[in-house]
Structure formats: structure tokens, C-alpha cells
Amino acid sequence: MAKMIEHSGTVISISEKEATVLIAQSSACSGCHAKQACTSADVQEKKIIADLNGNQFQIGDIVTIIGKKTIGLQAVLLAFVIPFLLILSALFIFDYYHINEGIAGLIALAVLLPYYFILSRFESLLKQKLKFYLTK
């Protein structure tokens, strides 16, 4: 069975099949006894949209958000790794053909436009694949 990610949060809004949950995401050292003296300790609030999973929830309920660990890896791959490789590949290709570095950089960045356009076309598929669920 796949390993799961779990976070506790509070339901702040509900639609027919989804709920928006507010979670407090803290850095690894925010629980340290010396966090008052350290500038790296921080806590951020994040809003996560999760599937109700057939359960009934009310605004203000304390819930647990559950998702597969692979969700995070897939999201990082799609949002950071693939775009980085596209830019890097484009720069190597343009360097091989001795294209001006400034123009090569702009064109390499422009390569991301069709990539993100294609991702936006598959938004519904990605929402199904990268989904969180709620439990009490």
C-alpha cells in the first residue's frame, strides 16, 4: 500500500463534492525549544481543496487531509523538474547552434508557454490524479 500524507486542518468552505481546508504548515524547526531566538522558524497557513469522499462535513470541522505521497512527487515533477529540463535542453541546443545568449535565454523561457498551455488543457485529468481526501 502506498504511503500516505496526513495533515490536520479546519474546513473553511464546502461545495457539492469538495471542501476547502485551512492547514498550518510549519517548518521542521518550528517545534524547537529555541524557536523564539531563531529567525528560521515559521508557520504558514495554506488552503487545500480536498474531495469530501462521500462524507458530510460542516464549516469549522477539524478534519484530516489524506493523500498519497506520490502526489507531492508528481507535482514537483510537473511544476519544477520538467520545466527546468526543457529550459536547459533549449539552452544547450541554442548554444550548439551559436545563437546569441540573450535571445537563446528568451526563447528557452518561451518554450515554457506551450508546456504550461498543455498542462492547462489537462487540468481535469490532473485534478483527478493529484487529489486529496478528507476524514474526521
pLDDT of residue 1: 47
pTM: 0.68
pLDDT of residue 5: 82
pLDDT band at 2 (very low <50, low <70, confident <90, very high): low
pLDDT band at 78 (very low <50, low <70, confident <90, very high): very high
pLDDT one-digit tens code per residue, 31-75: 566 556 665 556 678 888 888 877 888 899 899 888 888 888 898
pLDDT of residue 122: 93
C-alpha cell at 77: 515533477
Q: Which of 111, 135, 114, 116 is nearest to 126 (CA)?
A: 116
Residue 66's contacts (CB-CB under 8 Å, 6 or more residues apart) are 4, 5, 6, 132, 133, 134, 135
Please answer whether residues 71 and 4 qualify as being in contact, where contact means their C-beta atoms are separated by less than 8 angstroms. no
Please answer whether residues 1 and 34 qualify as being in contact, where contact means their C-beta atoms are separated by less than 8 angstroms. no
Between CA 107 and CA 117, with CA 113 as vertex, the angle to 5 degrees is 160
pLDDT of residue 27: 61
pLDDT one-digit tens code per residue, 94-132: 999 998 999 999 999 999 999 999 999 999 898 888 888
Domains and CATH numbers, the chain: 4-135 (2.40.50)
